[in-house]
Chains A and B, each alone.
Chain A
Amino acid sequence: MTTLIEGIDLCLSRQARVILSNVSLKVDAGDFITLIGPNGAGKSMLLKTLLGLIKPDRGRVIRKDGLRIGFVPESLNLDPTLPMSVARFLTLNTHGGGLSEDIISETNIVDLLGRQMTALSGGERQRVLLARALHADPEILILDEPAQNLDMSGQLNLYALMEKIFKQRKIAILMVSHDLHLVMSSTQKVVCLYEHICCSGEPQVVAKDPEFISLFGEDMARLLAVYPHEHDHNHDHSTNHGHHHG
């Protein structure tokens, strides 16, 4: 498998607070990885470090040469005084690319094109952001809390759409989420982060990990452990206990 993006021994502190401590994470072509962890665990910071938006204090990030990344940020700080239609937003880039009919129908946003960005619902806005990310014809999609602020059906729709994109386009996906239930039933691989990588592997396996249980509680772990896993391919069922304390 080609490695698309890899962070090695990443360390990051902000105002004397440790955010990441010796975090190593690798995304290969075809991976669907979800980063989970409590609030303030450094999930978004890890994404931003991998994207190159933040320089780590120590460690390094290696990317495949010429890697095309589609990024979906956590939020848009759209000021209501900025008039911007969905169509304009989709073509707003520095490389001058136009609209793709395929992507518009794939993400089901045909009816939204003439609307103003500020008039979209949370779910509509996420679909537009996803469509925009796909316009770069990415090898990897990186999403920061895409289902945040969506209601239950909005979350389910978004996850279904991402599964569809993952399967049809055969691209890698790395996302941050704290909707544990959805993650556990739809992702291939979960990485649990709290300053360091506590545990990682298939959802079923992670849910039984002592560190996961200590972070999310016994009840949550038991609930998640019973979720059926639908992937029909084989994984090595080893959990990677990457304990790099200190």
Chain B
Amino acid sequence: MDSFTIAILAGVALASLAAPLGCFVIWRRMAYFGDGLSHSALLGVAVSMAFNIASEIAILFVGVGFAAFLVFLQSRRILATDTLLGLLAHATLAIGILAMSLLGADEIDMHDYLLGSITSVTTENAIYIIATALLCLTGLIKLWPGLLLMVTSEDLAQAEGVNVRYHEAALMLAMALLVAASIQLVGILLITSLLIIPASCARLFSQSPEKMALTAGLIGIICVAAGMLGARETTLDPGPLIVAIMVGLFTVLLGLRLIQRRPPH
């Protein structure tokens, strides 16, 4: 297998995880959380440069710290969650960029981290991405009924023995793992799109949560693969290209939906 085939496989694995996770992101209105989490990844990269550790591990640690700090601040009820998220996201992004510059990162590095780069995906990276996706998908399938019940009503879920805190933490951890895994392929600026656009496309035509997750997975896989192929044939950045293809597809599907003129349920 050549390195590009492996990269494509990694992209497909990433899309299959991002799609069901993205469903929960839109059901629970966590899009800004995903955005904030991915911004914090740049600080993670800086940490990995400073201490010479694997970037995936550093990003994961910073991401988990980001989520924990956010949950702590939310419990204090001083500011609204969207304000807190904006504050934390930009703080980690700004400090991350400054730290990276001070540590000697050049513009090409920065560009690759923000917008993705297929050539930077090594075989080890690809294996890490595929392993992460498999691990998270297994967890997601196991926790699926509890997670769905939690989305419907936290009180009901808890009264029926679902540990809501644990499920919520698992969801956040999966998102942190996804961010850490996807930074090379799509770049941190566009990770949220990978989560929410396929799920939004799937919502237009789905009657059940399971169908929505599977449809989103299929759409995500097609778009990521197409974007990566396109990026190889041209000099375009893979991240923006993947997102542009997704948005194009969403626009077409939305148009079809509006022509059909049926309410979405």
Contacts and interface: CB of A to CB of B under 8 A. Distances in A.
A245 B26 CA distance: 47
A122 to B, nearest CB: 15
B27 interface: yes
B199 to A, nearest CB: 8
Q: Which bracket fits the contact residues of B?
A: 20 to 34
B27 A82 contact: yes
23 contacts: A53-B155, A71-B160, A73-B156, A73-B159, A76-B156, A77-B152, A78-B152, A81-B26, A81-B203, A82-B151, A83-B208, A83-B211, A83-B265, A84-B209, A92-B145, A92-B152, A93-B160, A94-B149, A94-B160, A94-B161, A96-B145, A116-B207, A117-B152
B170 to A, nearest CB: 14
For the complex of A and B, list the 3 residue pairs with the smallest distance between their C-beta atoms, beginning with the closest.
A116-B265, A71-B159, A73-B155
Contacts of A117: 152
Interface in A118-162: 118-119, 136
A80 B29 CA distance: 11
A73 B155 CA distance: 7
B152 A84 contact: yes
B27 A79 contact: yes
B162 interface: yes
B153 A73 contact: yes
Contact of A94 (B145, B155, B203, B206): B145
Interface residues of A, number: 30
Interface in B210-265: 211-212, 264-265
Contact of B209 (A88, A118, A136): A88
Nearest to A117: B152
A88 B265 CA distance: 14
Main secondary structure, interface of B, reads: helix
A112 B192 CA distance: 36
Contacts of B26: 79, 81
Contacts of B151: 79, 82
Contacts of A75: 153
Interface string A59-96: 00000000001010111111111111100110011101
A8 interface: no
B203 A71 contact: no
A71 B156 contact: yes
Interface in B152-170: 152-156, 158-162
A94 B162 contact: yes
Given A83-B209, A83-B265, A94-B161, 20 more contacts: A48-B155, A51-B158, A53-B155, A53-B159, A71-B159, A71-B160, A73-B153, A76-B152, A77-B154, A80-B264, A82-B209, A83-B208, A83-B212, A83-B264, A92-B148, A93-B145, A93-B149, A94-B146, A96-B145, A116-B265
A74 B212 CA distance: 27
Contacts, number: 75
Interface of A: 48, 51-53, 69, 71, 73-85, 88-89, 92-94, 96, 116-119, 136
Nearest to B77: A15
Contacts of B160: 71, 93-94, 136
A60 B158 CA distance: 19
A89 B27 CA distance: 15
A116 B265 CA distance: 6
B197 to A, nearest CB: 13
A79 B159 contact: no
A53 B206 CA distance: 33
A75 B155 CA distance: 9
Nearest to B202: A83
A226 B83 CA distance: 54
Nearest to B28: A79
A164 to B, nearest CB: 23
Nearest to B207: A83
B25 to A, nearest CB: 10
Contact of B29 (A74, A79, A88, A92): A79
